[in-house]
Amino acid sequence: MGKILNAEEGKHLVESFQFKPLEIDDNSVSNQFQPISIGKQSEKSVSNENVTQQVTNNENQNNKLIEELLKKNDEFSSSLMKMEMMLEKQQEEFSKQLAEVKELAYKDGYAQGVNDTKN
């Protein structure tokens, strides 16, 4: 097998790194850390109250929507139950009619068979 690295290629060259200084503007630093006046705090509290009012309004609207959906769900389930009952009644009527038709056909067939044996 051949050598992958020869002795000179195996050495690493590491140079020192120099950090760049950041330029800081005194005006921008002072603007970022200014004390908040009381007027601004009251504006924030008013805006917080507006946010809480909006949240409660949204919750009330959501509750109303949920109640309406529940009512519609109840109406739908009751109409579905009525339809199921009507379907069961129709199935009973059809089974009665089928039994009557079978019995009538049996009697006609029996009578025809008796007549055929007599002739």
19-37 pLDDT, tens per residue?
Answer: 777 766 665 555 555 555 5
Residue 116 lies in a domain: no
Write out the residue range of the structural domain in which residue 84 sits.
42-92
Inside any domain, residue 24: no
Is residue 103 domain-resident? Answer: no
* pTM score of the predicted model: 0.44
Angstrom distance (rounded) from CA 97 to CA 86: 16
Q: Does residue 13 fall inside a structural domain?
A: no
Task: Report yes or no on 72 lying in a domain.
Answer: yes
Name the domain count of the chain: 1
Q: Whole-number mean pLDDT of the chain? A: 80
- Give a yes or no: residue 74 inside a domain: yes
Query: What is the rounded CA–CA span in Å between residue 99 and residue 84?
Result: 23
Residue 46: inside a domain, yes or no? yes
